[in-house]
Amino acid sequence: METDPKQWNALTPEEEYVIAKKGTERAFTGEYWNNKGRGRCICRRCNAPLYNSSDKFDSGCGWPSFDDEIPGAVIRKPDNTLGMRRVEILCANCEGHLGHVFEGERMTPKNTRHCVNSLSIRFVAE
């Protein structure tokens, strides 16, 4: 995990749009939306560990979905853009945009869905 912004990973224009400008990739197009591998997802910008594959589930939404994060890995902030009331999730280390978290959907026993852009994460197999 790299905490010095000068040492963060170089990003493609698409990654920069999502991570730094809070964009969203199109559903069902990201490389990890259907990934079933065992391992861990880290922040694409700073390499901070974010999610374990054991917390990933198929929500049918077209983006990687997790019902929990690695403790301390994610920051939650209110997001009222686009006329919606949502909760944005950010990497706690570099504050890169990951996506949004939704609660109360009853998709898992934890009743939480982190809807994450594939462009914000990198999968590291076990």
**Whole-angstrom Cα Rg for the chain:** 13
pLDDT tier, 1 (very low <50, low <70, confident <90, very high otherwise): low
pLDDT tier, 2 (very low <50, low <70, confident <90, very high otherwise): low
Is the confidence at residue 81, as pLDDT, over 90?
no
Is the confidence at residue 3, as pLDDT, over 80?
no
Catalytic site residue from 43, 46, 94, 115: 115
What is this structure's pTM? 0.93
Q: Are 94 and 110 in contact (CB under 8 A)?
A: no
115 tagged catalytic: yes
How large is the average pLDDT for residues 48-76?
A: 97
Is the confidence at residue 46, as pLDDT, over 70?
yes
What percent of the chain clears pLDDT 70, i.e. is strictly above it?
A: 98
- Which backbone phi and psi does 36 adopt, to 5 degrees? -115, 10
